Chains A and B, each alone.
Chain A
């Protein structure tokens, strides 16, 4: 099969869906001529023209609101927010408008909008361009959140997200864009939202990780396999709604669990996951649930400090060993 980079898979999903459905358009800051802050959308303006690849002024709240208004009229906007930190500028539109409209209006109106945004640290971009922000929308009913870790998942999830009648936030890790390559079918395919994927089978311990952390977890798991420790790595892919069934079933099998996320410790989505595991599989656990997360700090600039804050392979390994003891 043909291999694509993560960013190429995302672009291909948008391109193919725009070719198939003229209601789909992309709007955001510098998505056109510039080609996106990460070059992801390069060439799309030439293919689709300025009415479907819409460059905007720097007005994040306005852009998302415009997407919502267009979605109410039956269009399918993909809104790009250049860094996930900037979601904080648009939480009013996301949380008060997009997420609530279907419910508030008695189920009679849908808001089929996709908000794509790069998240995560490790690039030395400092505190306002590196945060993992997913726990904030995670708390808002009515939203869906996808965090693909592979090119294959990115394309399939995004194609589903565009067709989904609900507002979907897609958080893409910047370090995956041009570093992770993988098999991606040429044709369009959909990955159901809310379905986890077992990235590695294992019998000794369950590890749940998202986005970039999936890759770190897989590296650690390969290493531990040399010691005879078989880690089952589960990637929820969609964190909202969360596929608890796959995770709980795995925990019931392995009896131990480590939860890994890049976001801060306090209030991270894995704290919710931990409480669900504790209440639904308590009797199956042979050791306390272990969480490996970012530290409770803004993301610092210096590489030494940044590496300290973001979960490393070493910390993930330590977490696994802790849960095994």
Chain B
């Protein structure tokens, strides 16, 4: 979680300094959802991610250097500078890709689950998407097919309360997004997405369940993004008080408290971990900044495989 938090904070700084050419969507405040759920997967399990994908990517074990280099548009980045923030993928670690289209990864995750089932690999897919994406038609098409074929996929909707600036309370006429599962014969549950231990425990059970052939599950993680939708966001759709109230529910502070209360860690150890993670991020920035840009002629490479 600290890796994600510090990575995103540094990326935010880089945006402000104008070091990043494009836009990005920060995951700050939502760390427990990605970390708790992905930790519950096996290493060779799969995920699909979203436009707000840095958190999933890091939790799945991505190399920070390559991520940072990609954000800066460098040749050494994950996608050789061709993808940017919204298109980082690493098949080798089971990350089938972030996606710039809201809901764009939902059918792809479903297809990956179909392939895993048909090839008998035993893999499970977590398909991340937001509360905005749950109203895309492709969600309904995909979860229905996953249900009739009992595919090993967890549809994990990160309800961070806004689809860009549109509040989820205005976007749907139900109190829990997980209720949508019932319409497709899919178990749906809503959990606290800011409680990393809870997310891990619940997902561990659910992943076991879907891996054993019982079909897909719809999990709603209630959480909140602290930063604006993207780089430019006047945030007219929410109040400062609302943001501050959610900051008090910080998933990282909560986990720290859990560790301290249970005497699982000392303050000194926390301090050391924080220093270590910060050093990793600084290294990544150094790597990214000193890396070369692609040659302009590389723009026409990789159109076809």
Listed in ascending order, the chain A residues whose CB lies under 8 Å from chain B are 25, 51, 56-57, 59, 61-75, 77, 92-93, 96-97, 101-112, 141-142, 144, 165-166
Contacts and interface: CB of A to CB of B under 8 A. Distances in A.
Given A71-B111, A74-B115, A104 B87 contact: yes
Contacts of B91: 72, 108-109
B60 interface: no
By CB atoms of chain A within 10 A, which of B77, B137, B302 has the most? B302
Interface string B106-149: 11111111111011000000000000000001100110110010
B264 interface: no
B232 interface: no
B111 A106 contact: no
25 contacts: A57-B144, A59-B145, A62-B107, A65-B106, A66-B110, A66-B114, A69-B108, A72-B111, A72-B112, A73-B46, A75-B115, A93-B107, A96-B104, A97-B108, A104-B79, A104-B87, A104-B89, A104-B97, A105-B78, A106-B77, A106-B302, A108-B90, A108-B91, A109-B89, A144-B304
Given A57-B144, A106-B82, A108-B89, A70 B111 contact: yes
Given A56-B145, A62-B110, A110 B80 contact: no
B141 A57 contact: yes
A76 to B, nearest CB: 10
Contacts of B113: 69
A165 B141 CA distance: 26
Contact of A97 (B77, B79, B104): B104
B interface, size bucket: 35 or more
By CB atoms of chain B within 10 A, which of A57, A63, A73, A165 has the most? A73
B245 interface: no
Give 9 closest A-B pairs by Cβ, nearest first: A65-B107, A69-B111, A62-B141, A106-B79, A59-B141, A107-B302, A66-B111, A165-B305, A106-B80
By CB atoms of chain A within 10 A, which of B110, B137, B301, B305 has the most? B305
B101 interface: yes
Contacts of A142: 303-304
Contacts of A75: 115, 118-119
Nearest to A241: B304
Nearest to B83: A104
B96 interface: yes
B82 A104 contact: yes
A74 B116 CA distance: 10
Nearest to B82: A106
A88 B272 CA distance: 55
Contacts of A165: 305
Nearest to B125: A69
B76 to A, nearest CB: 10
Interface of B: 46, 48, 77-83, 87, 89-91, 96-97, 99-101, 104, 106-116, 118-119, 137-138, 141-142, 144-145, 148, 301-305
B125 to A, nearest CB: 8
Nearest to B46: A73
Given A96-B104, A102-B302, A166-B305, A61 B138 contact: yes
Contact of A61 (B116, B141, B303, B305): B141
Given A96-B101, A96-B104, A69 B96 contact: yes
A69 B303 contact: no
B148 A57 contact: yes
B89 A105 contact: yes
Contacts of B144: 57, 59, 62
Nearest to B137: A61
Contacts of B83: 104-106
Nearest to A59: B141
A92 B141 CA distance: 14
B97 A70 contact: no
A105 B89 CA distance: 6
Contacts of B106: 65
Contacts of B148: 57
A111 to B, nearest CB: 8
A51 B110 contact: no
Nearest to B66: A106
